[in-house]
C-alpha cells in the first residue's frame, strides 16, 4: 500500500507533437497510481494540440500561449499553474515526447515513501529509448558530493543520489518550488532543467530511481555531446548564465561542473561535421551571456497569453 503526499499534478509542455501528446495523455490516464491533476501548456503549436487535449476525455487544465516560450517557459507556466490551480504536494513534469510506463508514478511515490533519510526534494525516473535501453541523453549522474549516509539511504530504496534532474520525467516537492521559484524562462531551452533542479536540490536530497520508467521517444538515440548545430548557442549562453548568476551551485560545484562542460564541448567539437556552425554558436552564446543576465519571468511572459493568476504566482516567486 502506498501512503504519503495525497496530490500529484502532472505538467506537460506541448509543441507540435499531437500524436505523441496523445500517447502521453493516454499513459497518464492509465497510471496504477493515478495522477490527481494534469496541466498541459500548449507552447503556441501550429497543429491541433489544443484539440487533442480537449478531446482526450480527461480533466485537464489547458493553457494556450500565443508565443513559443521554449521548454523553460512552458514548464515555468505549467508549474505555476499547478501551484495556484491544484495546490499539489508534488509536481511531476515531462515533455510531450515522454511516455510513462503504467507504473511510473507508482514507482516515484513508492521511492518517496520508502526513503529512510530526511525528506526528498525531488526524484526522477529511469529514461529509456524506444528500444528499451538507457537513453544516453537523459542518463543521470550520481551526485559527486553525496555523503556516505546519502548513498546508504539511496541504496536502501534501490536508487541513486543526484545533484540535478532532467525535465524529461522528474517530480518536485511543491514546498521546495514555493521556496526557490520556477525555471528561468529566458533560458528557452537547454540547461533550464539543470539550473532549476540544482536550485531545488541545493541543501536537499534528490534521487533517480529505476522503479519509475519512461520512454523518451526522440527521433534518434542521441547523447549530450552530439553536435546540436545552431542550438549550441543556447548551451553556451545558458551555461555561462548558470555559472555566473544561478543560486543552484556552490562555488566548488561550479568548478567541477564547469570543467565537465568544457570537456563535453570538446567532445562535441571532435564529433562535429561542421565546426564553423559550432564556432558561430559559441561566439553568439558567449556574447549574449555577457550582455545581460536572464530577465525576470514576468517580463518575458507578460504578453504571451499567461493567465493572470499564473502570472501573479510567477511574480510572487521572483
Kindly write down the DSSP assignment for every residue of 46-105, as one continuous string.
SSSHHHHHHTS-S-EEEEE-SS--HHHHHHHHHHHHHHHHH--SEEEEEETTEEE-TTHH
Of these ranges, 5-19, 95-109, 140-154, the one predicted with the greatest mean pLDDT is 95-109
The CATH number that applies at residue 182 is 3.90.550.60
Q: Is residue 85 part of a domain?
A: yes
Q: Is residue 212 part of a domain?
A: yes
Q: Is residue 303 part of a domain?
A: yes
- Percent of the chain with pLDDT strictly greater than 70: 96
pLDDT band for 186, please (50, 70, 90 cuts).
very high
Give the domain range for residue 138: 8-222+293-316
pLDDT average, residue stretch 260-277: 87
At residue 129, the pLDDT reads: 93
- The mean pLDDT of the chain is 93
At residue 5, the pLDDT reads: 53
Q: Is residue 84 part of a domain?
A: yes
Of these ranges, 21-35, 111-125, 250-264, the one predicted with the greatest mean pLDDT is 21-35
Q: Is residue 19 part of a domain?
A: yes
Residues 6+ apart with CB under 8 A from 180: 199, 200, 247
At residue 235, the pLDDT reads: 93
Q: Is residue 93 part of a domain?
A: yes
pLDDT band for 1, please (50, 70, 90 cuts).
very low
By three-state DSSP, how is residue 215 classified?
A: strand
pLDDT band for 274, please (50, 70, 90 cuts).
confident
At residue 121, the pLDDT reads: 97
User: Residue 245, Cβ neighbours under 10 Å: how many?
Assistant: 14
Q: Is residue 247 part of a domain?
A: no
Strands 37-42 and 60-64 turn out to be: parallel
At residue 223, the pLDDT reads: 66
Q: Note the pTM of the prediction, 2 decimals.
A: 0.94
At residue 75, the pLDDT reads: 98
Number of compact structural domains in the chain: 1
Q: Is residue 299 part of a domain?
A: yes
Of 177-186, 216-225, 286-295, which range is least confident? Answer: 216-225
Of 3-17, 113-127, 177-191, 248-262, which range is least confident? Answer: 3-17
> Is the Cβ–Cβ distance between 171 and 90 less than 8 Å?
yes
pLDDT average, residue stretch 181-210: 97
**Cα(141)–Cα(247) distance, integer angstroms:** 20
Amino acid at each position: 500500500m502506498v501512503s504519503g503526499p495525497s496530490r500529484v499534478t502532472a505538467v506537460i509542455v506541448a509543441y507540435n507533437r499531437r500524436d505523441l501528446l496523445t500517447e502521453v495523455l493516454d499513459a497518464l490516464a492509465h497510471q496504477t497510481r493515478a495522477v490527481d491533476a494534469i496541466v498541459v501548456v500548449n507552447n503556441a503549436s501550429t497543429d491541433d494540440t489544443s484539440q487533442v487535449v480537449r478531446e482526450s476525455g480527461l480533466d485537464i487544465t489547458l493553457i494556450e500561449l500565443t508565443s513559443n516560450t521554449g521548454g523553460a517557459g512552458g514548464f515555468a507556466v505549467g508549474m505555476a499553474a499547478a501551484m495556484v490551480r491544484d495546490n499539489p504536494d508534488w509536481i511531476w513534469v515531462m515533455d510531450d515526447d515522454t511516455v510513462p510506463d503504467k507504473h511510473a508514478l507508482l514507482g516515484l511515490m513508492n521511492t518517496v515513501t520508502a526513503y529512510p533519510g530526511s525528506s526528498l526534494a525531488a526524484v526522477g525516473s529511469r529514461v529509456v529509448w524506444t528500444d528499451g535501453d538507457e537513453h544516453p541523453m537523459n542518463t543521470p549522474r550520481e551526485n559527486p558530493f553525496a555523503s556516505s549516509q546519502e548513498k546508504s539511504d539511496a541504496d536502501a530504496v534501490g536508487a541513486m543520489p543526484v545533484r540535478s534532474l532532467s525535465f524529461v520525467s522528474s517530480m518536485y516537492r511543491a514546498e521546495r518550488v514555493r521556496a526557490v521559484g520556477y525555471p528561468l524562462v529566458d533560458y528557452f531551452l537547454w540547461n533550464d532543467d539543470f539550473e532549476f533542479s540544482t536550485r531545488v536540490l541545493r541543501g536537499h536530497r534528490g534521487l533517480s530511481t529505476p522503479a519509475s520508467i519512461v520512454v523518451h521517444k526522440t527521433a534518434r538515440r542521441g547523447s549530450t555531446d552530439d553536435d546540436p548545430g545552431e542550438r549550441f548557442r543556447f548551451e553556451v549562453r545558458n551555461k555561462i548564465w548558470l555559472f555566473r548568476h544561478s543560486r543552484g551551485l556552490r562555488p566548488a560545484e561550479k568548478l567541477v561542473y564547469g570543467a565537465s562542460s568544457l570537456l563535453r564541448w570538446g567532445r562535441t567539437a571532435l564529433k562535429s561535421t561542421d565546426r564553423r556552425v559550432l564556432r558561430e554558436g559559441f561566439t553568439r552564446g558567449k556574447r549574449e551571456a555577457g550582455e545581460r543576465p536572464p530577465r525576470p519571468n514576468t517580463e518575458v511572459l507578460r504578453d504571451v497569453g499567461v493567465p493572470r493568476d499564473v502570472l501573479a504566482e510567477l511574480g510572487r516567486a521572483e
